[in-house]
Amino acid sequence: MSENRHRIGVFPGTFDPITNGHLDVIRRGRKLFDELVVAVGDNPEKAAALDQAERVQIICEVVADLENVRVEAFSGLTVDFARGAGATAILRGVRNSTDLQFELQAALTNRVVAGIETVFVMTGTEYAFTSSTLIRQVASMGGDVSALVPPAVIPHLKKLSKHGSDDMLDEAP
């Protein structure tokens, strides 16, 4: 007998900034759930380059055309947010074996502590090297990151540039 339960997935992260790799996981992951919540949190171990409200606003703009995706800010434990959202699973993107090792440990802990499953989606090969940290570093040096992030992110990264360069604002046609 099949269960007709509304399946909600939560894709948590700091998204500082959101990358094309994140967007790839969102687009593919949303097909696995009736509703996907992109949960924008803060990592107390990292100083964010973009504030949480700005990250939420950017992601809302980027996913506006995706019907079953919504964006919410959260603080605290991801599992607490996921339970509060009625999620059946947490969605995580995996780029490489280092990610997998970390994510597997977190997934097992979340299942034991909170009874919530984790669904892994492998990132597309073209995004396997992309990270928000790398993008922030390149942007802060005035480098062109337009191939790595959605166009809506570029104006927000301009303020990170130590060189005052507009080179990274050259959006692809």
Tell me the domain boundaries of the chain. 8-128
Helix residue ranges, H only, 86-143: 97-114, 132-140
Tell me which of 30, 55, 92, 95 is the catalytic residue. Answer: 95
Is 158 in the active site?
Answer: no
Confidence band for 124, pLDDT divided at 50, 70 and 90? confident
pLDDT score for 138: 92
Residue 172 has pLDDT above 90, yes or no: no
Longest CA–CA span in the chain (Å) reads: 61
Tell me which of 30, 55, 92, 132 is the catalytic residue. Answer: 132
Q: How large is the average pLDDT for residues 28-40?
A: 97
Q: Which residue has better confidence, 148 or 168?
A: 148
Q: Is 101 exposed, middle or buried (0-12, 13-18, 19+ CB in 10 A)?
A: exposed
Confidence band for 98, pLDDT divided at 50, 70 and 90? confident
Q: Which option is the CATH number for 8-128: 3.40.50.620, 3.90.320.10, 3.40.190.10, 3.60.15.10?
A: 3.40.50.620
**What are the tens digits of pLDDT across the range 67-90?**
999 999 999 999 999 999 999 999
Is 83 in the active site?
Answer: no
Is 46 in the active site?
Answer: yes
Q: How large is the average pLDDT for residues 148-158?
A: 93
Is 156 in the active site?
Answer: no
> What backbone torsions phi and psi does residue 157 show, to the nearest 5 degrees?
-80, -20
Distance CA 154, CA 138 (A): 12
pLDDT score for 168: 42
- Asked whether the beta carbons of 77 and 42 are under 8 A apart, the reply is no
pLDDT score for 1: 42
